[in-house]
Amino acid sequence: RDLLLFFSIYFFIIQLFRLGIRGAVIQLTYGLVMFMLMYTIMIIGNIIFKRESIGGGDIKMMFVIGLVLDPLLGIISIFIASFLALPISLIALKVKRESIIPFGPFLLVAFMFLYFTKIDTNMIINFFICTPHKQKLASKIIDLTNHNIIITPITIKTILTILIVLSPLIKYSLI
């Protein structure tokens, strides 16, 4: 809980310096939209399954993701996380007879994929509208050298910190 609060404040301050007050308020609004979307999904899931379907941490994590990504990318991160979680949950159901796995690690992996590959909303819209842009998006996904991702010690430290924080959750979801 404290970690999510820390990253919420951290990303808001970064957006404040990067985009100014207006941009930071817009990103804050995106975070609230993603929070409400995930909360709505939880309510619908609770009604359908008649038990808790999504934890509160997942809802709060979507708020943090919304501070960084726009709503369309936030929705896409939910889809990517769902596709990543599906095989793991099927394995867990078959091996352990456990039907509940943490969704947060999958949300974080989907977020990191979208964030570090620098896929944006315009690329996704163009992918579905124009054929030439489909090739451009596919080449960006396949060829990571064209993304101008600068690997610095800070980037490596951030990735390692995220992996260290996630390791107990991933271990729990795979056991």
Residue-wise pLDDT for 2-61, tens only, equals 777 787 888 888 888 888 888 888 888 999 999 999 999 889 888 988 888 888 888 888
Token readout for 53 is: 């379907």
pLDDT of 101 over the 70 cut: yes
Contact between residue 43 and residue 37 where contact means Cβ atoms under 8 Å apart: no
Cα separation of 1 and 91, whole Å?
Answer: 28
**Terminus-to-terminus CA distance in the chain, angstroms?**
23
Q: Determine the average pLDDT of the residues in 82-94.
A: 85
Residue type (1 letter), 113: F
In order, the DSSP letters of 107-147 are HHHHHHHHHHTT--HHHHHHHHH-HHHHHHHHHHHH-GGGG
Q: Say what the pLDDT of residue 170 is.
A: 45
Q: Say what the pLDDT of residue 157 is.
A: 52
Rg of the chain over Cα atoms, rounded to whole angstroms, equals 17
If pLDDT is split at 50, 70 and 90, which confidence band does 128 have?
A: low
Contact between residue 162 and residue 108 where contact means Cβ atoms under 8 Å apart: yes
Higher pLDDT, 125 or 123: 123
pLDDT of 148 over the 70 cut: no
What's the chain's length in residues? 175
